[in-house]
């Protein structure tokens, strides 16, 4: 029986030696965390601290920019040393608990259920290694009771494969440079998104106005109620029986809530159900319809929309949604953008009522007042905002390709 060589598929050409197998306890020291109360977390004042759940929400393989702060004294805290590795000691799922980050700062308070690991090895390398090649192995070590726990005594038994220190450094530097590029692309995307928010605010407040093809100003915007612009229709489909013969596609609440694009809804992502013929006729979806989420757990999150850009045959929407069908001629792209401006969102939040969820009624929707530009100015506004969206999409595609490139590297660079 032959032994598989411990050599990665992707490797820098100057390295050829087989990786050396080690046990975690032979190369590292493990220490304990200390709890910090939520009352001890402050903003813009105090000692930098890392909260354990931020490893899932904020940080990745390396940490050099700290989000949170505490006002506790250093003597009452467990503080980081440069190159410490931290891994959560509890979480909701086994695979997610296998999350390692290297702290590239001294004197950072470490808060919550954390395994703190120290060693003389290259810990940026180890952070990438644990988060990828060893993620499943770490998950298997954890124990499930009411939540998943991962103890240092379990981590110490983990078998690891190490290249020489120079190769560790080369891998760590290369992957760090990839992450720097990813962060720059993310920053570029955020800057464009922030600009879009700013420009929308100024366009819909009429601080910025467009001119027509003769460079003349457009006329005054006309005040209207939403009920004069759209016909509002809630769905009658609250129960879908398997006994009804007509099979249709169902657009549900989460399809709209999660939908970030204004492109056509993809039927491949929709649930297939059966419904009555009368339900299909009264709850169908046509070109230029807009679907909204009229309820949410918070008033600020009540309004999500998706525009329908083509007639959707054999497609209905659930009773958790509301359909807007235009009564007057509108630019459909303008309608989408205008539905997401703060003026509308603030009115919706104020008009929503609470029972088990915050909900806004057809009557309340209809009463909301807005100012509407001419059709030609609507077109100008829609074209400009669409141009910005194209730039956001281009950067998003660039980000996706870079993250896929990183993913491929991580799969091949470790054993």
Among all chains, which residue has been given the structure tokens 């919550």?
112
12, part of any domain:
no
Co-location of 298 and 399 in the same domain: no
Which CATH number is 182's domain given? 1.10.287.1120
10, part of any domain:
no
pLDDT of residue 38: 61
pLDDT of residue 257: 75
pLDDT of residue 261: 47
Which residues lie closer than 8 Å to 322 by C-beta, 6 or more apart? 232, 233, 234, 235, 291, 292, 293, 294, 362, 365
Which CATH number is 304's domain given? 3.90.220.20
Residues in the chain where the model's pLDDT stays below 70: 1-5, 32-45, 145-146, 236-245, 259-268, 297, 299-301, 355-357
Distances (CA, A) of 355 to 157, 297, 298, 352, 360: 52, 10, 12, 10, 11
Number of separate helices (H) and strands (E) present in the chain: 14, 27
DSSP assignment of 163-203: --HHHHHHHHHHHHHHHHHHHHHHHHHHHHHHHHHHHHHHH
14, part of any domain:
no
Distances (CA, A) of 54 to 34, 65, 230, 390: 16, 12, 43, 32
Co-location of 349 and 366 in the same domain: yes
pLDDT of residue 386: 92
280, part of any domain:
yes
Co-location of 202 and 171 in the same domain: yes
Co-location of 302 and 403 in the same domain: no
Co-location of 97 and 121 in the same domain: yes
pLDDT of residue 358: 75
Co-location of 202 and 250 in the same domain: no
11, part of any domain:
no
pLDDT of residue 254: 80
Co-location of 123 and 171 in the same domain: no
Co-location of 227 and 355 in the same domain: yes
Give the number of domains in the chain: 3
1, part of any domain:
no
Q: Give me the phi and psi of 279, to 5 degrees please.
A: -65, -40
How confident is the model over 115-159, as pLDDT tens digits?
Answer: 899 877 788 999 999 999 999 999 888 877 667 888 888 999 999
Given a contact cutoff of 8 angstroms between Cβ atoms, the answer to whether 224 and 338 are in contact is no
149, part of any domain:
yes
pLDDT of residue 321: 87
- CA dist 174 and 183 (Å) reads 14
- CA dist 185 and 370 (Å) reads 36
**Domain assignment of residue 51, given as a range:** 20-162
293, part of any domain:
yes
Cβ count near 81 (within 10 Å): 12
Co-location of 315 and 274 in the same domain: yes
pLDDT of residue 262: 45
How confident is the model over 246-291, as pLDDT tens digits?
Answer: 888 888 888 787 764 445 566 667 778 887 787 788 888 888 888 8
Co-location of 276 and 319 in the same domain: yes
Distances (CA, A) of 196 to 160, 256, 308, 339: 47, 21, 22, 14
Co-location of 195 and 228 in the same domain: no
Given a contact cutoff of 8 angstroms between Cβ atoms, the answer to whether 384 and 373 are in contact is no
Which residues lie closer than 8 Å to 393 by C-beta, 6 or more apart? none
Given a contact cutoff of 8 angstroms between Cβ atoms, the answer to whether 103 and 83 are in contact is yes
Co-location of 364 and 255 in the same domain: yes
């Amino acid at each position: 029986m032959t032994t598989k060589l411990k050599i990665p598929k992707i490797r820098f050409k100057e390295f050829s030696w087989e990786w050396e197998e080690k046990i975690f306890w032979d190369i590292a020291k493990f220490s304990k965390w200390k709890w910090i109360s939520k009352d001890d977390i402050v903003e813009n004042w105090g000692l930098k601290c890392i909260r354990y759940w931020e490893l899932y929400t904020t940080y990745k393989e390396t940490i050099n920019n700290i989000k949170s702060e505490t006002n506790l004294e250093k003597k009452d805290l467990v503080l980081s040393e440069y190159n410490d590795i931290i891994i959560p000691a509890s979480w909701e799922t086994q695979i997610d608990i296998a999350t390692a980050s290297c702290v590239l700062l001294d004197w950072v308070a470490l808060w919550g259920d954390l395994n703190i690991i120290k060693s003389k090895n290259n810990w940026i390398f180890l952070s990438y290694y644990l988060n990828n090649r060893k993620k499943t192995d770490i998950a298997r070590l954890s124990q499930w009771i009411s939540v998943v726990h991962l103890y240092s005594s379990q981590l110490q038994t983990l078998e690891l494969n190490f290249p020489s220190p120079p190769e560790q450094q080369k891998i760590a530097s290369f992957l760090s440079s990839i992450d720097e590029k990813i962060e720059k692309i993310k920053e570029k995307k955020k800057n464009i998104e922030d600009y879009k928010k700013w420009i929308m605010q100024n366009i819909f407040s009429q601080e910025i106005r467009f001119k027509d093809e003769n460079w003349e100003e457009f006329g005054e915007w006309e005040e209207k109620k939403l009920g004069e612009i759209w016909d509002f229709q809630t769905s009658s489909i609250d129960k879908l029986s398997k006994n009804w013969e007509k099979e249709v596609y169902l657009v549900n609440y989460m399809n709209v809530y999660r939908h970030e694009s204004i492109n056509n809804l993809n039927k491949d992502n929709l649930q297939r159900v059966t419904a009555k013929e009368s339900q299909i006729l009264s709850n169908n979806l046509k070109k230029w319809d807009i679907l909204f989420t009229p309820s949410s757990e918070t008033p600020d999150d009540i309004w999500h929309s998706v525009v329908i850009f083509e007639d959707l045959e054999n497609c209905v929407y659930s009773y958790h949604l509301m359909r807007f069908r235009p009564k007057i001629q509108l630019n459909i792209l303008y309608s989408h953008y205008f539905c997401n401006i703060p003026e509308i969102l603030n009115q919706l939040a104020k008009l929503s009522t609470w029972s088990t969820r915050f909900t806004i009624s057809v009557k309340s929707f209809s009463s909301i007042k807005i100012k509407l530009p001419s059709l030609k100015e609507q077109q100008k506004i829609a074209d400009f905002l669409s141009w910005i969206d194209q730039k956001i999409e281009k950067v998003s595609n660039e980000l996706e390709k870079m993250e896929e490139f990183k993913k491929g590297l991580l799969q091949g660079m470790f054993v």
